[in-house]
Amino acid sequence: MDRFKYWVAAGTGASALAFSIVLFAQTGFPPPPPRVSPAAGAIDIHVHSDPDAFNRSLDDFEIARIAARKGMRGFVLKNHVAPTAARAALVMRTVPGIEVWGGVALNRSVGGVNPMAVEWFHRMSGGRGKVVWLPTFDADNQHKILKEPGEGLRVAAGGKVFPETEEVLKIIARENLSLATGHVSPEESLVVIKRAKELGVKNIVVTHAMAEVPGMTLEQVKQAAAMGAFIEYCFLNDIHGPQSYWPFLRSWRRVSFADIAKVIKEVGASHFILSSDLGQNGTPMHPDGMEMMINGMKREGISQADVDLMVKRNPARFLGLES
C-alpha cells in the first residue's frame, strides 16, 4: 500500500509539473505578466492625451491610473495648442501614487514665442507647470522638412537668439523651469542651448533629436550633449516610416531601437532620456510603449543600469527633481 501511495504521489507530482510546463509554454498567447513592470519608477516626459485638438486614445486620468498601476513615478503632459499645468494639478488631486507635470508649447495658439505665455503658465495654481517647448508643429523647420505650406516660427538666426527667445530663456532660468527645443532646426537648437546655459538655464532636452524633425546629425547630437543638454529618444520614432500601420506617421523617417542604441553607446547614456511621445489613437498606451522600448534597448545591448539612467535618473534631473 505504501509503495502504491508513493507511485500515486509521484505520478501526481509529475503530472502537476507537466501541466505547469504546458500552462506557461502555450504558443500564440502573451507571456505571463512580470512581477514588476519594466517601467516601474520611470518618468515619461512626453505624453499626449485627451482633451486635445488631435485624436487621442486616452485622457489624462486614464493614463495616470495605468501609469500608477505599472509603478511609474510620473509623466509630463504635452499639448501642442494649450498649456497643461492646470490639467496636471487636477490629475494630482485625483489619482494617488503618481506625479504629473504640465508644459506649454510656444506655438501660434499661445502667441508663438511669447514670454507672457510662459509667465502665466508657471504661475498656475498647483505648481505643476514645468516644461517649456519651443515651437513644435508651427516651427519653420517642420514646415520645410515635411513640405507644409507657409512659413513657420523661428527662434534664432545668424548665431543669435531673437529678443523674444531671450526673454523666454530668462524666465525659464529665473523660475528653474525645464526647456525642450521642440521642432526647431538643429542649428537653432544649438544656438538656443548655448545662450540658455549662459543665462543660467539648468535643464534642457533636445526633443526627439534624431527624428525626421528636428533632424539632428550625430555630430550635432554630440555638440548639444557637450553643452549639457539631454538628448531625447521617443518610442514613437521606432514606428515612424513608410511601413507604418498609421498613415500620419509615414511622412517621418523611422529611427529604430537599433539605430539609437548605437548612438547611445557612442555618446553615452548619461546624455539621454527615453520617453514615449504616444497618445495617438490606435498606438500603444504610454506605459506599454515605455515597457517595449526598455525591453528593446536591452535586446540591443544597453545595460539595465544605463536603461535606469535614461528612464529614471535623467528625466528626474531634467525636471529638477531629486533623482
DSSP 31-56: PPPPSS-TTTT-EEEEE--BSSSS-B
Burial call 277-293: b when 16+ CB within 10 Å, e when fewer: bbbbeebbbbbbbbbbb
Q: Is 162 exposed, middle or buried (0-12, 13-18, 19+ CB in 10 A)?
A: middle
pLDDT at residue 16 tops 70: no
CA dihedral sign of residues 40, 42, 43, 49: negative
**Percent of the chain whose predicted confidence (pLDDT) is above 70:** 92
Instruction: Say what the pLDDT of residue 13 is.
Output: 52
CA dist., res. 121 & res. 49, Å (int):
19
Where exactly are the structural domains of the chain? 40-318
Give the mean model confidence (pLDDT) for residues 164-193.
98
Q: Is 149 exposed, middle or buried (0-12, 13-18, 19+ CB in 10 A)?
A: exposed
CA dist., res. 109 & res. 80, Å (int):
8
**Percent of the chain whose predicted confidence (pLDDT) is above 90:** 88
CA dist., res. 310 & res. 269, Å (int):
6
Q: Which of 27-41, 144-158, 171-185 has the lowest mean pLDDT?
A: 27-41
pLDDT tier at 22, thresholds 50, 70, 90: low
For residues 232 and 205, the answer to whether their CB atoms sit within 8 Å is yes
CATH topology of domain 40-318: TIM Barrel (3.20.20)
Alpha-carbon distance values, 46 to 4, 144, 195, 270 (Å): 64, 24, 24, 19
How do residues 48-74 score in pLDDT, each as one tens digit?
999 999 999 999 999 999 999 999 999
Q: Which of 6-20, 72-86, 196-210 has the lowest mean pLDDT?
A: 6-20
Instruction: Say what the pLDDT of residue 25 is.
Output: 60
Give the mean model confidence (pLDDT) for residues 106-130.
97
φ, ψ (nearest 5 deg) of residue 254? -75, 135
Mean pLDDT of the chain: 93
pLDDT at residue 227 tops 60: yes
Q: How many CB atoms lie within 10 A of CB 124?
A: 18
